[in-house]
Chain A
């Protein structure tokens, strides 16, 4: 119940295309869903996050869509660029005394020029 399932494991997109990464969770106590971007040799960096009281959040070319009833959320990268090539992690956490993030297994995105 603590898992966050992420798909696909890898993704290749043409420049200008839309990249879509999906995550699903079981624990209904999760109430904060961030996405992290990791470049080789670097630590993950917070990209965008959403709480379950909204169904969508957009920041620039990055959008999180959230479906509370299906317990799913996804990251959409519009107009994907070669500089977006990185590993993306979804995560979930809950306010239950501690702020432990459960991370998805990661998606390696490659955007072709």
Chain B
């Protein structure tokens, strides 16, 4: 049983296309995240949802739109893809709550997006 699963694992698409990445966690965690890892391996947070509510929205182009239909799912839709969007996108979840419990992240295995 995969704890945090992302689909697809690889995505190759042309500039200007719109694409989505899906993420599901079966850990019962309250919080989910999208991170972007660039070619230098740098991990940068993009979004975070807690129980379907957006709680972190970093400086990300508005071509990126997250959507959380329920607390087990967090999808990422990207419009008008650009070459610079090529990266590995990681979904993660945690049992953090805004009342103070703390745990580590569980990451998915990533989606490698290549824009050509």
User: Contact mask B18-37 → A, CB, 8 Å, 1/0?
Assistant: 00000000000001000000
Judge whether A41 is part of the interface by a CB distance below 8 angstroms: yes
Closest A residue to B98 by beta carbon equals A97
User: Contact mask A83-113 → B, CB, 8 Å, 1/0?
Assistant: 0000101000001011111010110100000
Judge whether A32 is part of the interface by a CB distance below 8 angstroms: yes
The smallest C-beta distance from B47 to any residue of chain A, in angstroms, reads: 10
Interface stretch of the complex, out of A15-23, A42-50, A60-68, A74-82: A42-50
Closest B residue to A43 by beta carbon equals B107
A106 and B42 contacting across the interface, CB-CB below 8 Å: yes
Please pick, from B4, B44, B45, the residue contacting A43 in the complex, using a CB distance under 8 A.
Answer: B4
**Residues in B whose Cβ lies below 8 Å from that of A46:** 104-106
A45 and B94 contacting across the interface, CB-CB below 8 Å: no
User: Contact mask B71-110 → A, CB, 8 Å, 1/0?
Assistant: 0000000000000000000101010101010101111111
**Residues in A whose Cβ lies below 8 Å from that of B100:** 95
A101 and B109 contacting across the interface, CB-CB below 8 Å: no
B109 and A42 contacting across the interface, CB-CB below 8 Å: yes
Closest A residue to B42 by beta carbon equals A105
Assembled-state Cα–Cα distance A49/B103 (Å): 9
**Residues in B whose Cβ lies below 8 Å from that of A44:** 43, 90, 105, 107
Judge whether B116 is part of the interface by a CB distance below 8 angstroms: no
What are 10 A-B contacts defined by CB distance under 8 Å? Answer: A34-B104, A34-B105, A38-B41, A41-B109, A44-B105, A87-B41, A101-B105, A103-B44, A105-B40, A105-B41
Residues in A lying within 8 Å of B, measured CB to CB: 32, 34, 36, 38, 41-46, 49, 87, 89, 95, 97-101, 103, 105-106, 108
Nearest 9 A/B pairs, CB to CB: A43-B107, A46-B104, A99-B96, A103-B43, A106-B41, A43-B109, A44-B107, A98-B55, A43-B90
